[in-house]
Chain A
């Protein structure tokens, strides 16, 4: 979101980040440099195996670059931490805890008091439209609801940056767009910086202010595309976005790029 006064701070930087596997024979991420601004929603998109997830996991601190540096708000990233919340494609709500205890878990790690945890878990249950399900175990919740528990748990820690790895990939189409609209509502309210990995082009356009397109392996940045037709707005309803002039052109452009990447072997 363009800010009114001071220029937005830099949230995350990557300088010449390379990630190699198996003794240097396979390069997943090749010399990527980028800068993500505070309150920006960025999507990493690209064909399967393009290193976008590896890049996200390095930002999360779950993997380490073979070369290069990563920072978050000017501090070097040396491992995972609650300043970077992560949502996974697989359901990660803990099955042995109720929805509410799940949401409180992250806050407990941060050392928040019992009253504070209870107050905030109420708030975040409401935020992800799960009021009334606080005492349910994940086994009795649908896939979309499980994912919302995980999202609430992460956001309740108030992370500076929210990282999402194909967060809605396991959900069916209808639930997916409901979740996308809910995310827009939440991100707008919480003012979070977001990095999402997806291979769903429409999802990328709907969620992002900026799309970073990765080439097929080795992963490099093919294009850094501002989603300018939305004019910096976060649109609550998907069909409103689809009706905007400029949407189709961007979608067509991204499809063409995707085909280019898939076809060259």
Chain B
């Protein structure tokens, strides 16, 4: 609990009521406070990591390098090992596979949300696929495509596409039915209802779902690049593992974390720019 200074014209009771608790329910935060708290959390993480490094016995310290050592490894990777090319390769795999997955999942999910018969036909099968871990497809994909880029892209597509369909189906189902009925009573045809009402109504929720699923895509990246890969962030980490280069493994983890957060931010900004009318929604 942090006590606050008395503001002008405020009595002591009001100040007490303003006192800040970490566990205040659903309070409204300013952008600045949110940023400061976020940075504080990240700093705390690095401090704990640093401490962890120093309490580790000397002979094992190389298995838990300090943050600055990992940063050093990262810089060495970039300067000497052409790490940027690996990063770009991984980004390409993520974005290309995600784009392909969306190309199928977005129209399919919206269509299944609109047409009950299509939903009844496809939903049980698609739901079943959601329960199969994407990694279990690796042997199959290797047989089909060999150790190629296609194999990696296919794995990444499989990792997200079924969840994406399910999420977008849900988004579409929750479009307010009165919007559709209002369009019908204005004389809109079926095609118009879908393209001029359902699609714009569901669009912000779809972008939200995409943002959440591309995060899942990043989590599959290492799995895709561990097997039969010579380039990409995952391959670099895998190689480093063989030589017990923990600093490089951790540099890889940090890279993926950073890229993931950046992607998230990109989607948020895109949504804010694309749907200026949607400002009632939080975040």
Contacts and interface: CB of A to CB of B under 8 A. Distances in A.
Interface of A: 60-62, 79-82, 84-86, 88, 90, 92, 94-98, 105-106, 109-110, 137-140, 150, 153-154, 157, 163
A111 to B, nearest CB: 10
Nearest to B179: A92
B176 A105 contact: no
B187 A110 contact: yes
Given A88-B178, A137-B277, A139-B277, A94 B200 contact: yes
Given A95-B277, A95-B278, A86 B181 contact: yes
Contacts of B280: 139
The 10 closest A-B pairs by CB, nearest first: A82-B187, A92-B182, A86-B185, A137-B277, A106-B186, A96-B200, A80-B184, A90-B178, A139-B280, A88-B178
Contacts of A80: 181, 184-185, 187
Residue from the set A84, A96, A138 with the largest chain B CB neighbour count within 10 Å? A96
A154 B186 contact: yes
Contacts of B275: 96
B187 A81 contact: yes
A145 B184 CA distance: 22
B187 A86 contact: no
Nearest to B184: A80
Contact of B201 (A62, A94, A138): A94
A85 B197 contact: no
Interface in B238-279: 275-279
Contacts of A60: 185
A92 B184 CA distance: 12
A161 to B, nearest CB: 11
Nearest to A96: B200
Contact of A109 (B181, B186, B276): B186
A109 B188 contact: yes
A154 B181 CA distance: 12
A81 B187 CA distance: 5
B186 A88 contact: no
Contacts of A153: 186
Contact of A150 (B182, B184, B197, B279): B182
Nearest to A139: B280
A154 B188 CA distance: 13
A110 B278 CA distance: 27
Contacts of B185: 60-62, 80-82, 84-86, 154, 163
Residue from the set A106, A138, A150, A153 with the largest chain B CB neighbour count within 10 Å? A106
Contact of B184 (A62, A95, A137, A140): A62
A139 B278 contact: yes
Interface string B181-219: 111111110001000110011010000000000000000
A251 B197 CA distance: 41
Nearest to A95: B277
20 contacts: A61-B185, A62-B181, A62-B185, A80-B184, A81-B187, A85-B185, A86-B182, A88-B181, A90-B178, A92-B176, A92-B181, A94-B179, A95-B201, A95-B278, A96-B277, A105-B196, A109-B188, A110-B187, A137-B277, A153-B186
A97 B182 CA distance: 14
Contacts of A85: 185-186
A250 B266 CA distance: 62
A95 B182 CA distance: 13
Contacts of B200: 94, 96
A163 B186 CA distance: 12
Nearest to B196: A105
A154 B187 CA distance: 11
A109 B277 contact: no
Contacts of B279: 137, 139-140
Contacts of B181: 62, 80, 86, 88, 92
A96 B186 contact: no
A92 B178 contact: yes
A118 B184 CA distance: 22
Contacts of A81: 185, 187
Contacts of A88: 178, 181-182
A80 to B, nearest CB: 4
A84 B182 CA distance: 11
Contacts of A150: 182
Nearest to B275: A96
Nearest to B182: A92
A122 to B, nearest CB: 19
Contacts of A109: 183, 186-188, 192
Contacts of B276: 137
Contacts of A163: 185
A230 B12 CA distance: 60
Contacts of A106: 186-187
A107 B262 CA distance: 43
A148 to B, nearest CB: 14
Contacts of A98: 277
Given A90-B176, A94-B179, A105 B277 contact: no
